[in-house]
Structure 1
Amino acid sequence: MFRFEIEAGLALKPLELKDGNKLYQLITESRQHLRTYLPFVDQTAKPEDTLEFVKATVISNAEQKSFVTVVLVEEQIAGLVGFNQISWPNKKAEVGYWLAEPFIKRGITTKAVRAIINYAFKTLELNRITIRAAFFNKASQGVAKKLGFQQEGVIREAEWVNDQFVDHVVYGMLKRDWVPEPRSQD
């Protein structure tokens, strides 16, 4: 089974059915923080809602339509990172990610996204990765910028989140432009 050790205490593993209750707990504990950015949060009212998502994602992963992983911090589930849809004919995917509130602002997201993109370009042999971030989500945009993604545009009113339409800033990365190692902090 896939397991990627990013560094000591930080790893990615495939989403499994047994992760459903812990994910629901994480979403519940970080609901106010997450609902600002993610439309699924308000649709996750009970554990069964999360379990349905997990079941569908496990099936999609098995069918190679997606590749969604759990972010583990000291073996504790911290959130998710992965590709909800992969277009194999076009060799492209869109990366999505979220972490529960106790795990943000520690560089974990950037490291996890870097790892999954390395995997996408090297192992999955994809050519293009896209990140879409809410216009006001400067932290998510910061992840894209730190990883060297180019801003490609804005999709107006792209998503209904928290009772309002949200614009998305779109960032893209091509395999030929990817720098797999962390950039120096000069």
Structure 2
Amino acid sequence: MEIIVDHTLSLRAVTVEDTERVFAITDASRSTLREWLPWLDMTTEVQHTRAYIESNIAGYKERKCLSAVILFHGKIVGIAGFNNINHANETVYIGYWLSKGAQGHGIMTKVVHALCQYAFEELQFNKVEIRAAVGNTKSRAIPERLGFVKEGTIRSAEWLYDHFVDHVVYGMLANEWTKTS
């Protein structure tokens, strides 16, 4: 799977060959990413990233998930994709993270837009859902910019190292997407 977003930005299904680079940007962005991602303390060696990638490749083959590297000017700067693909309900759940140096340039908004297009136009799914911690204003800004509907809040949705955080749930339906895109 490859999605060309624009002349500087694309998505490509993650491969085992991406392991070292994904680990390197994870490690370099650890302090920033750790604020909202619960898996950073369990990703301390290249082998941990490799296991994650291999798991996602297997999940992709089983049509359960899709993990893609974000390429900006040809370099990996993050991961985005469908954390879960629910075929029965025609719903995908988008997750994403971006390296510290790549944040603040509008990259993730473009990436999420492209993933929505892929979900609605290629996969012909009915719904895209994004969940983000209530306090994660940067992550929440993306679905809000793209016109997602705030559907509600899930209390104590995720354990984040030493406390629970609530999640805001955003949804976009296929018929709404055609009106906004």
For Structure 1 versus Structure 2, the TM-score category normalised by the shorter chain is over 0.9
The aligned amino acid for 2:149 is Q
Give the C-alpha shift of residue 93 in structure 1. 1.3
Counterpart position of 2:129: 130
Counterpart position of 2:37: 38
Q: Secondary structure at the match of 1:148?
A: coil
Q: Provide Cα deviations, 1:71-112, integer angstroms capped at 9, x if missing partner.
A: 000110011111011010110011000000101110000000
Give the C-alpha shift of residue 180 in structure 1. 7.7
Counterpart position of 1:109: 108
**Equivalent residues, number:** 181
Tell me the distance in 2 between the aligned counterparts of 1:89 and 1:154. Answer: 24
Q: Is the 8 A contact 1:81 1:95 kept in 2?
A: yes
Tell me the distance in 1 between the aligned counterparts of 2:150 and 2:30. Answer: 29
Q: Provide Cα deviations, 1:13-58, integer angstroms capped at 9, x if missing partner.
A: 1110111111111110000000101111111011111110000001
CA RMSD of aligned residues (A): 1.2
Q: Secondary structure at the match of 1:102?
A: helix
TM-score (norm 1): 0.94
* Structure 2, unpaired ranges of 5+: none
* Structure 1, unpaired ranges of 5+: none
Tell me the distance in 2 between the aligned counterparts of 1:36 and 1:179. Answer: 34
Counterpart position of 2:89: 90
Q: Provide Cα deviations, 1:114-146, integer angstroms capped at 9, x if missing partner.
A: 001100000111101110011111111110111
TM-score (norm 2): 0.96
Tell me the distance in 1 between the aligned counterparts of 2:171 and 2:178. Answer: 13
**Aligned ranges for residues 27-176 of structure 1 at < 5 Å?**
27-176=26-175
Q: Is the 8 A contact 2:147 2:180 kept in 1?
A: no
Structure 1 stretches of 4+ moved >4 Å? 179-182
Q: Provide Cα deviations, 1:141-172, integer angstroms capped at 9, x if missing partner.
A: 11011111010111111111132211101111
Q: Is the 8 A contact 1:118 1:180 kept in 2?
A: no
Q: Secondary structure at the match of 1:178?
A: helix
The aligned amino acid for 2:15 is E
